[in-house]
Amino acid sequence: MASSGSISISKAEKSFIQAGLISNPPSRADGRSLYDFRAISLETGFAPLANGSARLSIGRNPHDGSGGTEVLAASKLEVESVEPGGGGVDGGRIACTVTCSPAAYPHLSSSALDDLQYDITTVLHETLTHRSLHPKNLGILIGKKAWVLHLDIVVLVDSGNVYDAVFMAARAALWDTKVPRTRSVEYKAKKGVVGAGGAISSSIGKKKGAGSGEEGGGGDMDVAEEVVSGFDTRQIRNATDFELPDYWDEGEVLDGRDAWPVCVTLNVVPPTHFLDATLPEEAATSLRLLLMFAFDPSRHDSPNVQGMRTLGTGELEVSQLQELIKQGEKYARYIWTALNTKLKEESLGRLKDRTKF
Amino acid sequence: MAQPAFDRRRINGPEESHPPVFIDEEPSQTRSVKSRKGRASSDIRPIFLQPGLISQATGSAYIETERTKIACAVYGPRQSKGTGFHEIGRLNVEVKFAPYSCQDRRAPMRDAEDRSIAMAVHQAIVSSVRLETFPKATLDIFITVIETDGLEGCVAAGSIAASTALVHAGVEVFGLVVSCSAAAVGDEIWLDPTDEESKISGGTLVLSCIPALTSITSVWQTGRMSPKEILGCIDTCQSRCNDIHGVVAQALSSPNVPG
């Protein structure tokens, strides 16, 4: 039932790992302290056909590129009909999918793998698609069309701490995402001319209602002269279609990209806890606490918790939980700061690449 | 998991159909609500709990909190089929929705099953069950949602029903698991929110705990909340859980429980 990707290890190994973690000073197999992360490497924009993408690995060996958790994330935008039956919603929507490569979990049966990726998908989807995080620029035409953002994540290799990796990769890919600009197009029939195909002129207005465009000036004049009944309370939306002024790799950044949370997994081995568990360590831990934090740059003292989950068979006291949340906030802030620095570096690097010519 | 296969056993309706939207049912635009309608912020909906409703099962329970109605049956411990040797027993939770349980119809087979709720219920009760007492065996818990009003309430009521059914089945547990949900609306914390209330809230939290041991088995939070709000929610939920624990204990010890 509780399908975790964890491997099964012997009782002796389990107790050896636990004894190491709670000994003083604590010792781990790879010599890290309890709150050390393995080295994280991140690259954005690796998938040229996606609207935004990121490739992240935790703990890859820098010399031969072996080992480590490896996650790919890519976002792709599609236009969706908002009309009944289209499945879309006004203002757009986000759909997250996590796929676990069978190569990453050779010990799991295909149904257990399905369950595992469904579980990770649920946590990611419920956290990222909450109203409080919804980007404002996914709508196209009210009542007609909207963008749907598919965020697809592939876990290529799992050597522990997959939730943190997935959330970091998701944040990086969404940060990298560019939404193509759209302009709404409306067709207006000339007054007095009935049913003449040639009489349809197009006027192009900016999406955010920035007035009418330059083309089809005659049509605009006619509309302005139309007498509108004071009793007509229906709102008639004229925009019927939209066009894309951008090329495929241009666009504006996704709104609210600062707000996507990072996840920190606290592996609880009473009386202590540790971060960034490897696979054997995960198998020796009975309780994990996932904390999704986002830090608003304008308000330094009050972070937002965007999600919280407990996984595993362990139990907690309230006082323990309070302490864990407090500590988790501290770790999450480190991850947040480091990730932001890296993301800014990446976008600067990309800007340099583009202006080289 | 949802099964994409075509359902040959039933007469399938048209490929595409939509529930009608009635004028008086248009989603209310009450975005900024100052105070709660109908009950105080720390009030929960009254609970009706009856163990032993499904005579065929080893243990069962039915729970009703206003518009949330859930039936739960426990089978086992029985021999695990088709799995390898397990030193500790397995706990299997399945949640099924009746087609008429939600605002939109949930088609049988296709989207009747909800693994995320099953996962939450499993997480809530697994640490209370002494799984090491039945190696090689499986406990199956089937939860049928007959009507639902809010996902959080569904998880909370489902966990309470599952724990009650386990005890009714005579399975050894460390303690009764009870569960309570809360929503942060503005500056207030509303306990046991309905669907509408959780839609206007900034974030929701479901806390499951064993009041007898004062330990927390599961925290399930979504939405935006500050750490202070979360701790506030946990505190109020926990104190309310003590009351719910009394309700469950009374339901189990009342003399007219069948089975």
Nearest to A318 among B118, B203, B234 (CB): B234
Q: Which domain holds residue B85?
A: 41-253
Q: Is the confidence at residue B170, as pLDDT, over 70?
A: yes
Residue A123 to residue A135: CA distance in whole angstroms: 19
Adjacency order of strands within the sheet including B188-191:
A272-274, A262-269, A287-294, A304-312, B215-225, B203-210, B178-185, B188-191
The full length of chain A comes to 357
pLDDT digits (tens, 9 = 90+) for A254-312: 888 888 999 999 999 988 899 999 888 988 998 999 999 988 877 667 788 899 999 98
Nearest to A311 among B92, B123, B234 (CB): B123
Asked whether the beta carbons of A289 and A266 are under 8 A apart, the reply is: yes
- What pLDDT shows up at residue B113? 75
| Position B76 in a domain | yes
- Number of structural domains in chain B: 1
Do the chains contact at A306 and B224, CB–CB below 8 Å? yes
A-interface mutation test, from B221, B236, B237, B240, most A Cβ less than 10 A away:
B221
The C-alpha of A320 sits at a distance from chain B's nearest C-alpha, in angstroms, of: 10
Asked whether the beta carbons of B204 and B231 are under 8 A apart, the reply is: no
**Which residues in chain A are closer than 8 Å to B214, comparing Cβ atoms?**
317-318
The C-alpha of B38 sits at a distance from chain A's nearest C-alpha, in angstroms, of: 25
Give the model's confidence band at A4: pLDDT under 50 very low, under 70 low, under 90 confident, else very high: low
Give the chain B residue nearest A288 (alpha carbons).
B218
Greater model confidence, B39 or A98: A98
Interface check A126 vs B, CB under 8 A: yes
Q: Is the confidence at residue A167, as pLDDT, over 90?
A: yes
| Position B53 in a domain | yes
Q: Is the confidence at residue A212, as pLDDT, over 90?
A: no
Percentage of chain A with pLDDT > 70?
A: 80
CA B101-B104-B109 angle, to 5 degrees, is 70
- What pLDDT shows up at residue B154? 92
Do the chains contact at A314 and B127, CB–CB below 8 Å? yes
Residue B155 to residue B220: CA distance in whole angstroms: 10
**Which residues in chain B are closer than 8 Å to A311, comparing Cβ atoms?**
123
Nearest to A130 among B91, B119, B222 (CB): B222
Identify each DSSP E strand in B120-202 by its residue range.
137-147, 178-185, 188-191
ipTM of the complex model: 0.86
The C-alpha of B259 sits at a distance from chain A's nearest C-alpha, in angstroms, of: 28
Give the chain A residue nearest B141 (alpha carbons).
A1
pLDDT digits (tens, 9 = 90+) for A218-269: 334 444 444 555 554 444 456 677 777 777 667 888 888 888 999 999 999 9
Could you tell me the domains of chain A?
31-182+249-354 (3.30.230.70), 183-243 (no CATH)
- Cβ pairs A/B, distance under 8 A: 101
| Mean pLDDT across B83-88 | 77
| Mean pLDDT across B149-161 | 91
| Position B64 in a domain | yes
| Position B221 in a domain | yes
Strands B137-147 and B90-97 come out as parallel
pLDDT digits (tens, 9 = 90+) for B101-149: 887 777 776 677 788 899 999 999 999 999 889 888 899 999 999 998 8
Q: Which among A180, A155, A149 has a CA at the least distance from the CA of A168?
A: A155
What is the CATH classification number for the domain harbouring B208?
3.30.230.70
Do the chains contact at B227 and A84, CB–CB below 8 Å? no
| Position B4 in a domain | no
Give the chain B residue nearest A128 (alpha carbons).
B223
A12-46: burial string, b at 16+ Cβ within 10 Å, e else: eebeebbeebeeeebebeeebebbebbebebebbe
Q: Is the confidence at residue B152, as pLDDT, over 60?
A: yes
- What pLDDT shows up at residue A231? 52
Residue B196 to residue A181: CA distance in whole angstroms: 34
**Which residues in chain B are closer than 8 Å to A111, comparing Cβ atoms?**
1
Q: Is the confidence at residue A347, as pLDDT, over 90?
A: no
- What pLDDT shows up at residue A190? 60
| Mean pLDDT across A152-168 | 92
As a dihedral over the C-alpha atoms of residue B212, residue B216, residue B221, residue B226, rounded to 10 degrees, the angle is 100
**Which SS3 state, helix, strand or coil, does residue A351 take?**
helix
| Position B234 in a domain | yes
Asked whether the beta carbons of B249 and B160 are under 8 A apart, the reply is: no
- What pLDDT shows up at residue A192? 55
Do the chains contact at B216 and A317, CB–CB below 8 Å? yes
Token look-up 């676990």 returns A100
* First vs last C-alpha separation in chain A: 56
Q: Return phi, psi of residue B228, to 5°.
A: -65, -45
Do the chains contact at A321 and B219, CB–CB below 8 Å? yes
- What pLDDT shows up at residue B28? 56
| Mean pLDDT across B216-220 | 92
pLDDT digits (tens, 9 = 90+) for B172-194: 999 999 999 999 888 888 888 88
Nearest to B216 among A307, A313, A321 (CB): A321
Strands A287-294 and A52-58 come out as unpaired
- What pLDDT shows up at residue B61? 94
Do the chains contact at B227 and A130, CB–CB below 8 Å? no
Strands A145-157 and A239-243 come out as unpaired
Greater model confidence, B207 or A346: B207
Rg value, chain A, Cα: 26
| Position B15 in a domain | no
Beta bridge pairs of residue A41: A57
Residue B93 to residue A355: CA distance in whole angstroms: 57
Q: Which of residues 23-52 of B touch A (CB under 8 A)?
A: none
Q: Is the confidence at residue A354, as pLDDT, over 70?
A: no
Give the chain B residue nearest A1 (alpha carbons).
B92
Q: Which of residues 179-238 of B touch A (CB under 8 A)?
A: 202-203, 205, 210, 213-227, 230-231, 234-235, 238
Q: Kindly report which listed range (A138-142, A188-192, A244-248, B80-84) carries the lowest average pLDDT score.
A: A188-192
**Which SS3 state, helix, strand or coil, does residue A348 take?**
helix
Q: Is the confidence at residue A350, as pLDDT, over 80?
A: no
| Mean pLDDT across A108-116 | 87
Asked whether the beta carbons of A125 and A95 are under 8 A apart, the reply is: yes
Greater model confidence, B255 or A53: A53
| Mean pLDDT across A201-229 | 41
Q: Is A79 exposed, middle or buried (0-12, 13-18, 19+ CB in 10 A)?
A: middle
Asked whether the beta carbons of A186 and A238 are under 8 A apart, the reply is: yes
Q: Residues with Cβ < 8 Å from A55, sequence gap 6 or more?
A: A42, A43, A44, A46, A70, A71, A72, A73, A169
Nearest to B216 among A303, A315, A329 (CB): A315
The C-alpha of A126 sits at a distance from chain B's nearest C-alpha, in angstroms, of: 7
- What pLDDT shows up at residue A223? 43
| Position B5 in a domain | no
Residue A201 to residue A216: CA distance in whole angstroms: 6
pLDDT digits (tens, 9 = 90+) for B16-75: 777 777 776 655 555 556 677 778 888 888 999 999 888 899 999 999 998 899 999 999
Q: Is A351 exposed, middle or buried (0-12, 13-18, 19+ CB in 10 A)?
A: exposed
Residue A150 to residue A164: CA distance in whole angstroms: 20
A69 alpha carbon, distance to own chain's centre: 18
- What pLDDT shows up at residue B29? 54
HSE toward the beta carbon, residue B251, CA cutoff 13 A: 26
Q: Residues with Cβ < 8 Å from A136, sequence gap 6 or more?
A: A91, A255, A256
Nearest to A329 among B123, B225, B227 (CB): B227
Q: Which among B161, B156, B210, B158 has a CA at the least distance from the CA of B52?
A: B161
